[in-house]
Amino acid sequence: MRIAFLTAPEGVEQVELTEPWKAVKDAGHEPVLVSTKSGRIQAFDHLDKADTFPVDAVVDDASPDSFDALVLPGGVANPDFLRTDEKAVAFVGAFFEQGRPVAAICHAPWTLVEAGVVRGRVLTSWPSLRTDIRNAGGVWVDEQVKVCDHGPNKLITSRKPDDLKAFCETFLDVLAA
């Protein structure tokens, strides 16, 4: 399976990109780094610059049809940048329209709110997004990982880096089903 990892050019929390990436790759799937600009993305370890990673595809040219699932890593700045990019928001929305699995961790549900796909869904996130999710019609829960089956696709969400093991295992279970 080809799995899109959507990030902004900078601001992604490195561990929230690298741990799911490794899990997907180790399970025999193909992770693809999609961003709003070509070149390399700048990851962060909280507020400190970390490593850079090469972009495989630009969201302007990437078709959601060519992917089996989507991962939205967090970091505070990453989803904030993504939700202001029309094509990135449309890219995310297309996965919901097509009934494909979407996994989002930490602050990443901000992009889901902007895509208008939260209403009626139960999800978790970094606690500061609770009001945004509720205002968008979602139900926020404080759980390590939450799978929501509302609609044709599965939405997998987690709160923070400490939840990555459960997040990755649950996402891989959904892909295998």
Per the CB < 8 A criterion, the answer to whether 134 and 117 are in contact is no
Strand ranges (E), 19-91: 30-35, 40-45, 48-54, 57-58, 69-72
Report the pLDDT averaged over residues 70-89: 97
For the entire predicted model, the pTM comes to 0.97
CATH at residue 52: 3.40.50.880
What's the rounded mean pLDDT across residues 77-101? 96
Helix (H, G, I), strand (E, B) or coil at 26: helix
Residue 3: pLDDT band (50, 70, 90) is very high
**% pLDDT > 70, the chain:** 100
Q: Residue 176: pLDDT band by 50, 70, 90 thresholds?
A: very high
Q: What total of structural domains would you count in the chain?
A: 1
pLDDT of amino acid 21: 98
Pairing relationship of beta strands 10-13 and 48-54 according to DSSP bridges: unpaired
Instruction: Write down the pLDDT at residue 150.
Output: 76
Among residues 29, 46, 107, 150, the one annotated as catalytic is: 107
Tell me which of 68-77, 78-87, 149-158 is least confident.
149-158
DSSP state of 10: E
Residue 21's H or E segment, with its range, is helix 14-26
Confidence category of residue 41, pLDDT binned at 50, 70, 90: very high
Q: Is the pLDDT of residue 151 over 80?
A: no
CA 10 to chain centre: 15
SS3 call for 40: strand
Residue 107 is a catalytic residue? yes
pLDDT at res. 42? 98
Share above pLDDT 90 across residues of the chain, in percent, rounded to a whole number: 97
Under the banding of pLDDT at 50, 70 and 90, the label for residue 149 is confident
Average pLDDT value for the chain: 96
The parent domain of residue 105 ranges over 2-176
